[in-house]
Structure 1
């Protein structure tokens, strides 16, 4: 599945209310750690291991209202939802930590 850009606050609200697992990457495109982890997030979206997730990206510079609504304080930040409920948040750019967080979400931890 490709990583879909979120372009409005209403789209964001609709996405987080959706059924199933959702992974949202909040990015500041000029920030070096965001640039570093963005290709990995795209790779996860294309990896069958993570097929249960729908992957989204929010540019918090362009969509400041979404960043504020979601409570993002720094980038990169990742939010994970299931059936409209926020399950976990990961702030940082460590590939292993992000993978562990995603695995924990799917395992129900």
Structure 2
């Protein structure tokens, strides 16, 4: 003779097994790759690296960020995705931490984060202040046209 508690426990156990079958779970698990994406945003850590990046690349997109900046963290993955986009393959993507390279950020006149700057032939051509995804794409398209 089973009690109502025992009956409900057995029924819920059977229900759980029918819902969470291993075959159902296997279909919903995301498959991961062992190869890493291109990840072509270069972290600039010295003033000389920045000068070399400007000198060695025709078009440079610079992301000026700070580790404590929330909008910088929010838009960073979007910039990485754009750096792997085929239409922006001729753009050199770089980023500097304004707290680690204060001399470069001062020279560039950074006043807010994030600031995106597009350089053509070593000269600043365009600037975008703030985390605006649509404006960032527009800036990148201007760079790709050059």
Fold shared per TM-score above 0.5:
yes
Q: Please, which of 45, 48, 55 is the counterpart of residue 83 of structure 2? A: 45
Higher relative contact order (CA 8 A, sep 6+): 1
Unaligned runs of 5+ in 2: 1-37
Aligned length: 108
Distance 1:104 1:53 in 2: 11
Stretch moving more, 33-42 or 6-15: 6-15
- Report the aligned-residue RMSD: 1.3
Q: State whether residues 18 and 83 of structure 1, in contact with CA within 8 Å, keep that contact through their aligned partners in structure 2.
A: no
Instruction: Give CA-to-partner distance per residue, 1:54-106, whole Å, 9 cap, x none.
Output: 11010111111111111111110011112112111111111101101111233
Which residue of 2 is the match for residue 68 of structure 1? 106
Higher share of residues assigned strand: 1
Larger radius of gyration: 2
Distance 1:36 1:49 in 2: 22
Instruction: Give CA-to-partner distance per residue, 1:10-56, whole Å, 9 cap, x none.
Output: 21122123341111100011111001000001111111121010110
TM-score scaled to structure 2, two decimals?
Answer: 0.69
Matched ranges for 1:1-80 at <5 A: 2-80=40-118
Unaligned runs of 5+ in 1: none
Higher share of residues assigned helix: 2
